[in-house]
Amino acid sequence: MSEVLVRCEAIAKSFGQGALTQRVIREATLALNAGELTLMMGPSGSGKSTFLAMLAGLMRPDQGRVEALGQDLWQLDDAAIDRFRLQHCGFVFQGFNLFAALTALENVVFPLQYGSLLGDEARRRAHAALEEVGLGERAHLRPVELSGGEKQRVAIARALVKQPELIFADEPTSALDSHNGSVVVDLLHRIARERGAMVLVVTHDPRLHQRADRLIELEDGQIKRDERIAQTEPALAGEQEHA
């Protein structure tokens, strides 16, 4: 069996007060494994992004427990949770969140400034991350010179450069067309397999069903479906056309 890297038990989250209280997640329990890409799907308002945020140390649950890499995450103080995310987590978001004035390489180097890697070694690792996502030859370009799919691959390289064990992607394909969305998910799938990382992708795109190891569906804050998906070999990033 694969190693469990993230486990939550009976987590719940509500927003608002009194009669206006909205229960977003209702006592959900889940375990996520190393080397797998898991899709978390559901309609808008089903609690997908809130669920991801609680697992990633970005939002404190109202109740329940989250264990990540053997640590009881929400028993840590805020500074320790920040250090945990910095050391062990990579994040990919739908809006790319790239710095317009920086090149692709400089964008990927950026998170390393908070660690011990500096100078030439940081640039070497950042370039290796861009090579991994098929953009080594475009490292000198700024975001305005890149397509949407390429921007998202730069964002993935930025998440990878710290070599995290846990990768969280919130709607990473929503700003992309079908082809580039598939490229991004296949890339995340390959990263999970080759690096042994836990990759959790929140999405509402049903076209991605067959491009992951596991599918979890949320409805009204509860897990309604949790099943394994027949695997297909993901395409290599270097084989993709620039789009």
Using DSSP, state whether 25 is helix, strand or coil: strand
Q: What's the token pair of residue 15?
A: 């927003």
pTM, two decimal places = 0.89
Which residues of the chain carry a pLDDT beneath 50? 234-243
pLDDT of res. 231? 60
Closest C-alpha to 218, from 49, 53, 56: 49
DSSP state of 211: G
How far apart CA 25 and CA 241 sit, in angstroms, is 40
Q: What's the token pair of residue 188?
A: 């995340």
Using DSSP, state whether 41 is helix, strand or coil: strand
What domains lie within the chain, and their CATH numbers?
A: 4-96+165-231 (3.40.50.300)
Number of neighbouring beta carbons within 10 Å of residue 140: 10
How far apart CA 75 and CA 235 sit, in angstroms, is 40
pLDDT of res. 89? 96
